[in-house]
Amino acid sequence: MGDFTFSSDFWSWWVIVLTVGNILGCWWLIVWTMKKRAGEAAAGDVTHHTWDENLQEYNNPLPRWWLWLYYSTLVFAVIYLVLYPGLGKFRGVLGWTGEVRYEKEMEQAEARYGPIFAQYAEQEIPALAADDEAVRTGRRLFLNYCATCHGSDARGFPGFPNLTDDAWLYGGDPASIKATILDGRQGVMPAWQDSLGEQGVKEVAEYVLQINGREVDTELAHEAEGSAALPADVRGLPWRRRHGQPRPGRPQPDRCCLAVWRLAGHHPREYRQGP
């Protein structure tokens, strides 16, 4: 509640009255129930309540340890509300807030881990890769921040790339990977259904399988290779084979982009299966 802002004094007083009223009500309840009443049986004696002809109730007071424990919870509540936020706009005498605690913890973390990361930042990536402690630190960071999408084993999920193979959209060298981590990537493949048609989709699927070295329908693959609807950088010899490296931002055709990305969890052959 230390970081919460009330819209008006009314709601602040509403919380104060309810909180204090509940504490006082709990105290009054235990005092009222422990009060001696006229005609009440003495402690340990049988009361006038009888059930099932012979089942009687004894007047046994609550154990003292239970009463003191109950009172201690009320005292704790009062002390807590004096020291910390909890009574409307009253911030507590310690001035505690979640924001102040966060900033303090961040300062402690910076004092502890700042020099370590500063040392890593001065080293080249190949040197860090040979440092066992740096690799263990990187693994913990990966599990905390990256495993949700790429999996704890970095093999990815449907819709999220596998980081353990040699297929890279934006380059797999240390500098490119560092840029990807620092700045992120945005890649969008347009839909080709309307442009290629059903037959064109089947032909392109066969062509992708062919350049990946798999068994295909040769006639369909050749049709796709010569099709004007197929992007120019995919027709004929792939760009990667001509230049010896992948084009940034494009999947490598000879790695079979449909199989690498698995955006819907499908294999390319599923796109050429007719009814």
* CATH numbers and ranges of domains, the chain: 9-98 (no CATH), 123-183 (1.10.760.10), 193-271 (no CATH)
* Residues recorded for the chain: 275
Q: Do the beta carbons of residue 32 and residue 121 sit within 8 Å?
A: no
Mean pLDDT of 215-225: 60
Residue 109 confidence (pLDDT): 92
Q: Per-residue confidence at 129, pLDDT binned at 50, 70, 90?
A: confident
pLDDT: is 204 or 115 the higher one? Answer: 115
pLDDT digits (tens, 9 = 90+) for 73-99: 999 999 999 999 888 888 888 888 888
Mean pLDDT of 49-54: 73
Residue 275 clears pLDDT 50, i.e. is over it? no
- What letter does residue 270 receive in the DSSP assignment? G
Q: According to the per-residue pLDDT averaged within each range, which of 51-55, 62-66, 192-196 is highest?
A: 62-66
pTM: 0.47
pLDDT digits (tens, 9 = 90+) for 236-247: 444 444 444 455
* Residues 113-132 as b or e (16 or more Cβ within 10 Å = b): eeeeeeebeeeeeeebeeee
Residue 115 confidence (pLDDT): 92
Burial-class residue 191 by CB neighbours within 10 Å (0-12, 13-18, 19+): exposed
Give the dihedral sign, CA 85/89/95/96.
positive
Residue 61 clears pLDDT 90, i.e. is over it? no
Mean pLDDT of 164-191: 82
Mean pLDDT of 175-196: 80
Residue 272 confidence (pLDDT): 41
pLDDT: is 23 or 100 the higher one? Answer: 23
Residue 22 confidence (pLDDT): 95
Q: How far is CA 106 from the centre of its chain?
A: 20
Helix (H) or strand (E) holding 57: strand 55-58
Residue 74 confidence (pLDDT): 95
- Is residue 252 classed as helix, strand or coil in its secondary structure? coil
CA distance 196 to 186: 24
Residue 261 confidence (pLDDT): 43
Residue 259 clears pLDDT 50, i.e. is over it? no
